Amino acid sequence: MSTSPFSLTPLTYKISLPPSSLSNIPLNLTLNLNKSLLTYDKRLNGILVSYKDMCFEDGLKYGRIINENPNVNFNVRLMGLVFSPEVGHTLQSRIAHVSSGHIGVLIYGCFNGSSLKSELVGWEYE
């Protein structure tokens, strides 16, 4: 197990753009990918935090129209920073809220987390 819950991972996405988006393909691919940021992705078993080096898969600079669907399909490669903590990772957090029933924390300044009071018996924090 690595010591960090973050990993830089090569990823491939299949993105379908409607014909109205074809006037600026790189921009519209980026806008489409940005919808995936900071959202849990089951395929990654984590959260895509950021990405870089987006390019067309296999160097192809065109998409494909499949059957009678008017959308153009693109395969893109990128390097993604994925947040995927495992049991045993120590997560850097700051207490954001304390109530009688739970503690709310901000993890790495980006993710909200909470623990019930019953889960914290015997635990320490700095």
pLDDT digits (tens, 9 = 90+) for 67-89: 988 999 999 999 999 999 998 88
Contact call for residues 8 and 81 (beta carbons, < 8 A): yes
Longest dimension (CA), the chain: 61
Look up residue 54 and give its DSSP letter: E
Collapsing DSSP states into helix, strand and coil, what is residue 76?
strand
Work out the pLDDT band at 1, boundaries 50, 70, 90. low
Instruction: Report pLDDT digits (tens) over 14-60.
Output: 999 999 999 999 999 999 999 999 999 999 999 999 999 999 887 77
Look up residue 67 and give its DSSP letter: T
Q: How far is 51 from 72, CA to CA, in rounded Å?
A: 22
Contact call for residues 61 and 54 (beta carbons, < 8 A): no
**Looking at residue 108, what is its pLDDT?**
92
- Supply the pTM of this predicted model: 0.81
Helix boundaries (H) for the chain: 25-34
